[in-house]
Amino acid sequence: MTRFLAAAALAALALLAGASAASAMQIEKIVSPSGIEAWLVREQSAPLVALNFAFHGGSTQDEPEKSGTANLAADLLDEGAGDLDGKTYHERLENHAIELGFQVVRDYFHGSLRTLNEHRDEAFDLLRLALSAPHFDADAIERVRGQVMSSLQRETTSPNSLASNRWWETAFPGHPYGRESKGVLETVPRITADDMRDYVRRAFARNELTISIVGDIDAKTAGALIDRAFAGLPAKNDLKPVANASPSGLGRRIVINLDVPQAVVNFGGQGLARNDPDFIAGYIVNHILAGGTFSSRLYKEVREKRGLAYGVSDSLVWFRRAAVLIGTTATRADRTADALGIVEAETKRMAANGPTADELAAAKSFLKGSYALSLDTSGKIAAQLTQIQIDNLGIDYIERRGGLIDAVSIEDARRVAKRLYSGGMLVTVAGRPIGLTSSGTE
Amino acid sequence: MPLKRINSAAAIAVLAAALATPSLAAEPAGAPVADFTLANGLELVVIPDHRAPVVTHMIWYKVGAADETAGKSGLAHFLEHLMFKGTAKNPTGHFSQVVASVGGQENAFTTNDYTAFYQRVPSEKLKTAMEFEADRMTGLQLTDQVVLPERDVILEEQNQRVANNPRARLGEQIDAALFLNHPYGKPVIGWRHEMEQLSRDDAIGFYRRFYAPNDAVVVIAGDVEPETARKLAEETYGKVARHNNILPRQRPQEPPPVAVRSLTLADPRVEQPVMQRAYLVPSFHTAKPGQSEAIEVLAHILGSGSNSRLYRALVVDKPVAVMAGASYDSFAFDMSKFGVFGVPHPGVSLPQLETETDTVIANVIAHGVSAEELERAKFRMIADAVYAQDNQVSMARWYGSAIMTGATVNDVRHWPDRIREVTVEQVQDAARQWLDKQRSVTGYLIKDVSPQAEKKS
């Protein structure tokens, strides 16, 4: 039991970076012998190598009637590749204590690898096999498909999944951002080995490949390892374009009837693109309204003063072609309307008046100071470097970040608060909230 | 899966070198973890890690849900929440505000055996964090104005964690059936009807009984030297008086288990049935030397990851399950649990899955495990310990939870050595002795399809 549980269902939010520990960290841009770029941080206190990488093109590449293809492919890459069957592949990983993981999100295919220095050649060889010669054997497909179906089946009565899925499909109807990366019960059974091979062929390529390495390793060795895993991939990917989109359904409230004691609420609207000049100001203002700490306005009003919920928070979430603000809370049925009313009133108040000067100063101080804590393990550093690269923030971003935060004035904060919170919200509720019904039109 | 770590970051190199050798040669890692006690009885453990200018400061109290009086379930956790409500010196929110102003993180957690509070702050703020914690060790002030809304918060927490989640409800029922006499059978969050009655006086009474320097351990991981930490602790915690009436933890113990127990929870929201079992087994604290390490290795071989016995037999080879595994947590002050679970393949009934699971377990009991499996498990478990040292919070939590459940700093330090010593015979013995169905409760989670189902929740 913990005092505070951060909203888990939201898309991972890259932390804004920039403080003391940051300036001590040297990021080196390296180029492998075959010409692949990567960012390297030499961290000699541990005999480990942490690799993080991303290809462009995640579940946006799925055919709508076969949504879940990229996700299923990712789950199958370590189930047999090259001359190794699935059992042997897994044994090799375990025998060398190599940790290898793949994850598909809407815009990207992410990979991470962690190995002891002694086994790094083996680790990068196993990664190469997974990326370039996955088997997609029939028995493995059925096994992994069964696992995905089992979890989708379970989600059909989960209030968190129901509220979240409905939010996204209403916000982005007919657009790949409206579909869950995992797919749905109807589409996952249709996915074939050829569909997955097609995805791998189109997405796994050397262009639009982002790589970050952290560990006790020099540039030359790192370059050789990168080539070991990635040099054999095609030079160029072949991705379907994704259209720009804005969330729709703002002003609507959708209630999904489900017999649970606690109603789960998702709320949100238009966000800010990561390259929007107002992004940093928006991030600060949102931290003040609903960031995941004990001091946000929503936390104080909804939880601390009234005891309406265990958690309440929202986050800016950005994609390559859209940006949203999405939050969540969960309350008992007879007080769901109260909790939602407070969220709406506080959002309006922030839009009208912005934060106070004291709140702004405290938020800046928190966001600058908390950076060191977000970069305290090799794996976290590697993941953060990948995020900075795919967001095009520049190799000096970590040093610049503190200045960017300091530059936000109270006028900026008020202006951006108005911009961010005036557009209306789409609300989805799963449960039996008393006195709340669906409202608004498409 | 219980996370097992070894020593401090400084020992990583030594240990990894040991790991790299095929023989897994024992290499005692002489990490500079400091352990000392102040005059008022407060113990401190300092795990230096100078990679970043931050510290993780945790205070652990040797009191948890298993120490609640009957009828007051959820009180230890409720008090954990109320500890954030301020003191005479620092009114509500002030501590959190100061932590936030330096970019720090804070939180707290409660289990059956302990309650802990922590802050992660820049190293130069360590003393500030200690001052606040020392202040609220005895200075907490509560009024109904803050207590009553917080009681609603824990009730919503119960909704979120348990009432809304059929698998969590099944877990509660299994624990309640497994522990016939010991308070581990109650949920840490509490039973709702008792939570609803918890009062300010209950909380203050519990607080005065258990919160004291001689009932606590401070664990600090990060950018600080032990001598500095000692000096700061003496200036802050050192001023808090010892509590002379702290009694040793003596909970009602379990009688020998004699009945195979099974239960079924039907919930209308269940779309994926589950079979879950718990066996009553020793913890590190209650076990004979070597016993709990053998059980840890057994849990790994039987049910951790896709090379495990259960996964290979039930998910890959047969297949009767979409997922299967096992787990064991050696950190409990009294007896612990060994868990086994399986999610059936469509068309496979829970009794069929249970039978197949029993076959896998019976096979380990009858024939043991191979030397190769044993070596792979040990290597992987010790490597996890190396990886975990990359994380300051993991390190602090490991030491803290070990000490709270009766282990010592030295026990933690030598965990890899003890794992290395486990033999195939010990693993088989552990399976034979502890994976006896008479020691267990098997729970089925199924869909409730009765017409009244709508009214039940």
pLDDT digits (tens, 9 = 90+) for A189-208: 999 999 999 999 999 999 99
pLDDT classification of B452: cutoffs 50, 70, 90: low
Which amino acid is located at B255 in the chain? P
pTM of the model: 0.91
Partners of residue A20 in chain B, C-beta under 8 Å = 53, 122
Residue B374 has pLDDT above 90, yes or no: yes
Q: What is the pLDDT of residue A331?
A: 96
Residues 6 or more apart whose Cβ sits within 8 Å of residue B4: B296, B381, B384, B385, B388, B398, B415
Q: Which residues pair with A262 in a beta bridge?
A: A332
CA distances from B417 to A434, B260, B405, B414 (A): 59, 36, 20, 5
d(CA B183, CA B314): 34
Largest CA distance in chain A: 65
Q: What is the pLDDT of residues B318-363, one digit of tens each?
A: 999 999 999 999 999 999 999 999 999 999 999 999 999 999 999 9
Q: Does any CB of chain B come closer than 8 Å to the CB of residue A439?
A: no
pLDDT classification of A23: cutoffs 50, 70, 90: very low
> 3-state class of B423 per DSSP?
coil
User: Nearest CA to CA, how far is A150 from chain B (Å)?
Assistant: 7
pLDDT classification of A440: cutoffs 50, 70, 90: confident
Q: How far does chain B reach from its first CA to its final CA, in angstroms? A: 31
- Least confident range from A38-47, A128-137, B218-227, B294-303: namely A38-47
Q: Give the domains, in start order, of chain A with CATH numbers.
A: 2-230 (3.30.830.10), 253-431 (3.30.830.10)
Which of B63, B118, B159 to mutate against chain A (most A CBs within 10 Å)? B159
Which amino acid is located at A217 in the chain? I
Partners of residue A3 in chain B, C-beta under 8 Å = 80-81, 84, 107-109
Residue B277 has pLDDT above 90, yes or no: yes
Residues 6 or more apart whose Cβ sits within 8 Å of residue A171: A177, A178, A247, A248, A249, A268, A324, A426
Which residues in chain A (75-94) have CB-CB distances under 8 A to chain B?
86-87, 90-91, 94
Task: For chains A and B, count residue pairs whose Cβ atoms are closer than 8 Å.
Answer: 212
d(CA B156, CA A303): 10
Q: Is A346 buried (19+), middle (13-18) or exposed (0-12) by CB count in 10 A?
A: buried
Q: What is the pLDDT of residues A80-100, one digit of tens each?
A: 999 999 999 999 999 999 999
3-class SS letters over chain A: CECCCCCCCCCCCCCCCCCHHHHHCCCEEEECCCCCEEEEEECCCCCEEEEEEEEECCHHHCCHHHCCHHHHHHHHCCCEECCEEHHHHHHHHHHCCCEEEEEECCCEEEEEEEEEHHHHHHHHHHHHHHHHCECCCHHHHHHHHHHHHHHHHHHCCCHHHHHHHHHHHHHCCCCHHHCCCCCCCCCHHHCCHHHHHHHHHHHCCCCCEEEEEEECCCHHHHHHHHHHHHCCCCCCCCCCCCCCCCCCCCCCEEEEECCCCEEEEEEEEECCCCCCCCHHHHHHHHHHHHCCCCCCHHHHHHHHHCCCCCCEEEEEEECCCCEEEEEEEEEEHHHHHHHHHHHHHHHHHHHHHCCCHHHHHHHHHHHHHCHHHHCCCHHHHHHHHHHHHHCCCCCCHHHHHHHHHHCCCHHHHHHHHHHHHCCCCEEEEEECCCCCCCECCC
Q: Does any CB of chain B come closer than 8 Å to the CB of residue A48?
A: yes
Residue B15 has pLDDT above 80, yes or no: no
Residue B21 has pLDDT above 60, yes or no: no
Element (H, E) at B174: helix B166-178
Question: Mean pLDDT score of chain B, rounded to an integer?
Answer: 91
From B80, B172, B296, B373, active-site residue:
B80
State whether B160 and A3 contact (CB < 8 Å).
Answer: no
Note if B194 is an active site residue: no
Contact status, residue B175 vs residue B185, Cβ threshold 8 Å: yes
Partners of residue B101 in chain A, C-beta under 8 Å = 362, 365-366, 369
d(CA A158, CA A231): 43
CA distances from B387 to A90, A115, B12 (A): 19, 9, 8
Partners of residue A118 in chain B, C-beta under 8 Å = 16, 20
Partners of residue A146 in chain B, C-beta under 8 Å = 319, 322, 345-346
User: Nearest CA to CA, how far is A360 from chain B (Å)?
Assistant: 11
State whether B104 and A264 contact (CB < 8 Å).
Answer: no
Which residues in chain A (277-306) have CB-CB distances under 8 A to chain B?
293-295, 303-306
Contact status, residue B64 vs residue B111, Cβ threshold 8 Å: yes
| ipTM score of complex | 0.89
Largest CA distance in chain B: 67
pLDDT classification of B450: cutoffs 50, 70, 90: confident
Q: Is B181 buried (19+), middle (13-18) or exposed (0-12) by CB count in 10 A?
A: exposed
Residue of B232, B212, B186, B217 whose CA lies nearest to B75: B186
Q: Which residues pair with A328 in a beta bridge?
A: A266, A313
Q: What is the pLDDT of residues A370-400, one digit of tens each?
A: 888 888 889 999 999 999 999 999 999 999 9
For the residues A337-366, what does the mean pLDDT come to?
Answer: 97
Residue of B93, B100, B83 whose CA lies nearest to B139: B83
